[in-house]
Amino acid sequence: MKFLWLLWLAVIWTSDVRAASEEHLRELVATETSLIDGLREYIEALEQQLMVIKRETSAIEQIHQLVGEQVDEHMGNPLNVLTILKRFHSVWPLIEQLANDTLSLADSLPDYEMELQLPSEEDYETALLNLLRLQSVYNLEPATLSLGIVNGLKLGSAMSWSDCLDMARNSDRNGDYAVAKYWVETALGKLPAAVNATNFSVSEQERGKVQILETSLNMDYRAGEFSSALTTAKELLLLRPTNQNVQKAKAKIERAINTTQKKVLPKRKSKAKVNLSKSVEQLLIDELCRAATQQVTTGSRVLECRQDNSYLRMLRLEQLSEDPHIMLYHDVISFRQADKLISLVDDKPDEQQLKGVATFAPMEVSKLGLKLLRGIHNQLDVGQAEMWQARRHSHEHVTEPEVPSTTTGHVGQVEHVARAMLNLNESKLGGALVFPQLELSVNVPRGSLLYWRIRSFNELPRLDYRSRQLVCPVLLGTQLSLWTNLN
């Protein structure tokens, strides 16, 4: 507005130019020169803002071009889910602010808060927790995970320093101080370099370092790591010498070191250890899931082929366990048949079953799909199947060891003796079916069927606790399978 006022003043003065003296003309020329210089600085400032907007939008556009039409596959990656939610919370508001400063560009933008469907803060927090859960189960290193690398494979988008800082804060809130410190170190390593950098990157580097150090200071103090907290406070004072909050924190830490370090430190560590402890079974499950991450097939003890007279073909079977009986039937259906069955699955989960924390997304199979499935399991001679149900597992779903019910709930019907799982679409990483009591993990290939007995018949028919199973968290992609109980 200052430049516009000066421009208006210059126009008013021009009406009296003829009556003005030569001195007045020189003053007008000087004023115009000042206006030009001021407008040039204003234009340069706008160009810098536009460069930032172009850079940010170009980076997002490149991601969209790489994704193309493979939106479902892209969103099946928890890292990609986290980064797109992060963009709506940080990048897009920054772009809107810069665009509003240019005034002319802001007129053509939609109302960011009123006209667009936006993710909530809860969505972003859930994405962080999902990624932390996968990191815990598969023992992923923050440094490589932040680059989008899992088990040596480049699978997802790289994380920014602020993404890593959010992971650290969530880890600390969940009582995992050690993991949180790893994420803090990773966040520091992702700050933009200050050498040969623009004013924008230098300010971001300083601002980011202050935020990371403040988070680290609070974490160290709550965990009783006073020596580390004092070092962080001193480093913060080098960046913000007049910050009274940091000065007070430093004095408080020094008093804690002098008076209560020996009393507080053991209590904090023992408490954290209790919060982080896992059951023996959960540790075993994590180990089985990690071992099956990249396996294509299982190492079987018995391999046999069986003639299928109905379809005039040979079936390849793997016996994975003799007691309880677990059998893997390879290539029960073709990929084409699997695609057809996928199209016959109702993609709308039952809302009643999705209330609260869902262990999986249950879906119904159409009547035509059930008819096709009857023909499939009849040729395998594995017993009479009940209603098939589809389950979709992704990185958002958590499963617990599952125990079959003792009865089917139908009057006069035989109790379940076995279960079967037919895999229609396998995930890229994760999603193995594990039996903790047997220390067995099975990656069921697409189009194959896994059969296992859930009852022991040594004396009296009873549920076999060794048949408890669960599906490992999915690291990449989505797994769609069909489940049924057998009589």
Domain presence at residue 223: no
Residue 471: closest CA among 451, 447, 437, 443: 443
Per-residue pLDDT in tens (0 to 9) along the chain, 487 residues: 444 444 444 444 444 434 444 565 566 666 667 667 766 776 777 777 788 888 888 888 888 888 888 887 878 888 888 888 888 888 888 877 777 776 654 444 445 555 555 567 777 888 888 888 888 888 888 888 888 888 777 777 788 899 999 999 998 888 888 889 999 999 998 888 765 555 555 677 888 999 999 999 999 998 888 889 999 999 999 988 888 988 999 999 888 888 764 554 444 443 444 344 678 888 888 888 888 875 555 444 555 666 555 554 567 788 888 888 898 988 888 899 899 898 888 766 544 444 444 456 678 888 888 888 877 766 666 666 678 888 888 877 777 777 655 444 443 445 678 888 999 998 888 889 999 889 899 999 999 999 998 887 655 567 888 888 889 988 888 889 999 888 7
Sign of CA dihedral 432, 433, 436, 439: negative
CATH classification of the domain holding 459: 2.60.120.620
Domain presence at residue 460: yes
Tell me the CA end-to-end span of the chain in Å, nearest whole number: 81
What CA–CA distance (Å, rounded) separates 104 from 53? 14
pLDDT at 274: 38
pLDDT at 127: 81
pLDDT at 260: 60
Instruction: Compute CA distances 229 → 67, 181, 264, whole Å.
Output: 43, 12, 14
pLDDT at 400: 76
Neighbour order of strands in the sheet with 389-393: 302-308, 313-321, 326-330, 449-453, 418-425, 479-486, 389-393, 361-364
Domain presence at residue 393: yes
Domain presence at residue 312: yes
How many domains in the chain?
2
pLDDT at 411: 39
Domain presence at residue 385: yes
Q: In what helix (H) or strand (E) does residue 211 lie, and over which residues does it extend?
A: helix 199-222
Cβ neighbours around 402 below 10 Å, total: 15
By residue range, what is the domain housing residue 463?
281-486
In one letter, which amino acid is 88? F
Helix spans in 223-260 (H) = 226-239, 244-259
pLDDT at 21: 46
What CA–CA distance (Å, rounded) separates 307 from 380? 10
Domain presence at residue 266: no
pLDDT at 395: 78
Domain presence at residue 420: yes
Express each pLDDT in 85-100 by its tens digit.
Answer: 888 888 888 877 777 7
Domain presence at residue 431: yes
Express each pLDDT in 259-292 by its tens digit.
Answer: 764 554 444 443 444 344 678 888 888 888 888 8
Answer yes or no: are the C-beta atoms of 161 and 213 closer than 8 Å: no
DSSP 90: I
What CA–CA distance (Å, rounded) separates 159 from 290? 23
